[in-house]
C-alpha cells in the first residue's frame, strides 16, 4: 500500500497489458524504441487489452500490429502490478497489470515492424539472452526477470514492480 499512498493523480482505470516472451536459440524477440521519456530502449511485443478481447486475442492482435506476425500463445509466466508515470500534458500515474506469456512465431519468421508499430518503435530484433542485463528494457524489471527465465521457475505473480 505504500506505493499507492505516495502517488498523486492516480488514474482510476487499471489497464491490462499482455506481453509476448518469444525465445528461440537463446535469443529473445524485442522491440527497439527511440524517443519518449526513456530514450533508446527495448520492450516486449504486446500491449493493452481492449474491451471484449481475451488476453490471447489481445496478444495475437498486438503482435500482428508490432512484429508483423501472429503468435501462438503459451503459458502465463508472470503477472505484476506496474505503476507507470505519464508525462504532460496531464502528468499522472497509470496502474497496469503486466501479464507475460511464453509465445512462439512461425519457424520462418524474420524480424520486422508490423503495419501499426508501437509508439516510438523503430525495429524488431533478436537479442541474445545473456546480454539482456546490459540493455535498457521498459519496464526496468524485465531485464533481470528475463535474464533468469531459463534458470529458475519463480512464482507467477511478482507483486508491485518498478
Interval 123-130 mean pLDDT: 94
Asked whether 146 and 77 are in contact (CB, 8 A), the reply is no
Asked whether 97 and 119 are in contact (CB, 8 A), the reply is no
Asked whether 138 and 45 are in contact (CB, 8 A), the reply is no
11-161 CATH fold? Nucleoside Triphosphate Pyrophosphohydrolase (3.90.79)
Asked whether 77 and 149 are in contact (CB, 8 A), the reply is yes
From 119, 148, 136, 140, select the one nearest 39 (Cα to Cα): 136
Residue 2 has pLDDT above 50, yes or no: no
Pairing of strands 10-24, 92-104: parallel
| For residue 7, cis peptide bond before it (omega within 30 degrees of 0) | no
The residues spanned by each domain of the chain are 11-161
Q: Which residue has the higher pLDDT, 143 or 90?
A: 143
Percent of the chain with pLDDT over 90: 53
What pLDDT was estimated at residue 161? Answer: 66
pLDDT tens-place string over residues 31-70: 999 987 668 999 999 999 999 999 999 999 999 999 999 9
Q: Read off φ and ψ for residue 56, nearest 5 degrees.
A: -65, -45
The three-class DSSP label of residue 127 is: strand
Amino acid at each position: 500500500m505504500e506505493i499507492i499512498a505516495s502517488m498523486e493523480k492516480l488514474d482510476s482505470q487499471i489497464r491490462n497489458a499482455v506481453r509476448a516472451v518469444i525465445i528461440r536459440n537463446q535469443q529473445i524477440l524485442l522491440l527497439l524504441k527511440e524517443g519518449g521519456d526513456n530514450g533508446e530502449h527495448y520492450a516486449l511485443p504486446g500491449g493493452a487489452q481492449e474491451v471484449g478481447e481475451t488476453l490471447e486475442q489481445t496478444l495475437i492482435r498486438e503482435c500482428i500490429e508490432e512484429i508483423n506476425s501472429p503468435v501462438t500463445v503459451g503459458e502465463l509466466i508472470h503477472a505484476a502490478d506496474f505503476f507507470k508515470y505519464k508525462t504532460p500534458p496531464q502528468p499522472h500515474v497509470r496502474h497496469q497489470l503486466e501479464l507475460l506469456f511464453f509465445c512462439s512465431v512461425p519457424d520462418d519468421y524474420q524480424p520486422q515492424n508490423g503495419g501499426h508499430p508501437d509508439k516510438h518503435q523503430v525495429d524488431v530484433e533478436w537479442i541474445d539472452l545473456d546480454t539482456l542485463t546490459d540493455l535498457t528494457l521498459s519496464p526496468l524489471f524485465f531485464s533481470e526477470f528475463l535474464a533468469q527465465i531459463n534458470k529458475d521457475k519463480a512464482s507467477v505473480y511478482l507483486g508491485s514492480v518498478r
